């Protein structure tokens, strides 16, 4: 069976820009503090009537157009999100209906910020098997809707957006392999404590604010600076390649300081990576495909390059994909 190759990429971010200066009018923070701590300068915020499925649909349509495929050519749609339209049914099904993939399976996965990397692994394993010629893999998030806008430790870091890739069978190039890992003992490091069946909103156990995204920043830092380089090394080992063969690493766009620390750990220069978080902030499960789309569009990737996509986040979950472009 030939590898699954990315034959089309799409990305969409809402038009509304929110700068660090805008945030300084709402919470006690500053452009200098945000930039120094994270490297973020601005992010995109969805309108109140825009859902995660809307962002995903726009990215999917763009990816299909680039692949020269029609929606009805899609056999499977996998959506990675931790900010779904509704708890159920799946946001993937909503996207499927919106873009007209009338002949496909559709389902969500939730690996938080590493969701799209996981989805790419799943999708690549289906491509080329009976009945699955084209698989659409999308990461989409509307974190502005699940953040506590009074919590300056989290609200300034995130933005909204979506990125998508079409996978098809292709001889000679494509996804070489993936490496995934999870540590459920750290599930409380990044979470929304209320809203599920454990703690219902409005129940006696509910505390106001628990309906929003919460994060232990120090614990996340300690995890991410180790998980990012580990994922890169492990996927390279799995596919029998070396760090010296890597042409570009596209990491989760969480924090520029985490990326810098990870690249230093790997012994690679920042010129070997691609970042765009200064413009979009942390778009969680959408960050890797958005960055991959932009890196390709800017000519940072050439045919035959070894590209590593790597991500880390809530779960705790982390992983990487190795791709021959």
Is 113 catalytic? The answer is: yes
> How many CA atoms are closer than 13 Å to the CA of 275, on its beta-carbon side?
22
- 255-to-8, 84, 145, 228, 244 alpha-carbon distances in Å: 27, 23, 20, 12, 25
Distance CA 118, CA 97 (A): 23
Among 133, 118, 143, 127, residue whose Cα is nearest residue 40: 143
Distance CA 202, CA 205 (A): 8
Active-site residue among 51, 60, 113, 155?
Answer: 113
Two structure tokens written together for 40? 């973020």
Active-site residue among 20, 51, 118, 252?
Answer: 252
Buried b (16+ CB within 10 A) or exposed e, 166-182: bbbbbeebbbbbbbbbe
Burial of residue 304 (number of CB atoms within 10 Å: 0-12, 13-18, 19+): exposed
Give residue 186's region: left, alpha or beta (phi > 0; psi -120 to 50): alpha
Cα-Cα-Cα-Cα dihedral sign, residues 143, 149, 155, 159: positive
User: Integer distance in angstroms from the first to the last C-alpha of the chain?
Assistant: 17
Active-site residue among 20, 134, 255, 282?
Answer: 282
Is 282 catalytic? The answer is: yes
Distance CA 98, CA 82 (A): 20
- Which positions are annotated as active-site residues? 113, 252, 282
């Amino acid at each position: 069976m030939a590898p699954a190759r990315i034959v089309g990429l799409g990305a969409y971010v809402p038009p509304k820009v929110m700068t660090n200066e805008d945030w300084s009018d709402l919470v006690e923070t500053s452009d200098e503090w945000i930039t120094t701590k994270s490297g973020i300068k601005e992010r995109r915020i969805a309108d109140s009537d825009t859902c995660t499925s809307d962002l995903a649909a726009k990215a999917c349509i763009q990816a299909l157009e680039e692949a020269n495929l029609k929606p009805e050519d899609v056999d499977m749609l996998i959506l990675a999100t931790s900010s779904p339209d509704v708890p159920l049914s799946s946001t993937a099904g909503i996207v499927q209906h919106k873009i007209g993939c009338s002949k496909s399976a559709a389902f969500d996965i939730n690996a938080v910020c590493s969701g799209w990397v996981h989805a790419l692994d799943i999708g690549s394993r289906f491509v080329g098997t009976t009945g699955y010629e084209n698989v659409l893999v999308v990461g989409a998030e509307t974190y502005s809707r699940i953040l506590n806008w009074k919590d300056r430790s989290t609200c300034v870091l995130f933005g909204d957006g979506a990125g998508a890739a079409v996978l098809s069978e292709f001889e000679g190039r494509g996804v070489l392999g993936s490496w995934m890992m999870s540590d459920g003992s750290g599930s409380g490091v990044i979470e929304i404590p209320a809203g599920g069946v454990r703690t219902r909103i409005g129940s006696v156990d509910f505390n106001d604010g628990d309906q929003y995204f919460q994060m232990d920043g120090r614990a996340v830092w300690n995890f991410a600076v180790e998980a990012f380089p580990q994922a890169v090394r492990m996927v390279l080992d799995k596919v029998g390649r070396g760090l010296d063969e890597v042409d570009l690493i596209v990491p989760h766009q969480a924090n520029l300081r985490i990326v810098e620390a990870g690249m230093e750990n790997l012994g690679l220069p920042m010129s070997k990576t691609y970042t765009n978080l200064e413009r979009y902030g942390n778009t969680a499960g959408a960050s890797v495909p958005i960055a991959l789309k932009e890196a390709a569009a800017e000519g940072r990737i050439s045919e035959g390059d070894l590209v590593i996509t790597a991500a880390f986040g809530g779960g705790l979950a982390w992983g990487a994909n190795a791709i021959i472009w």
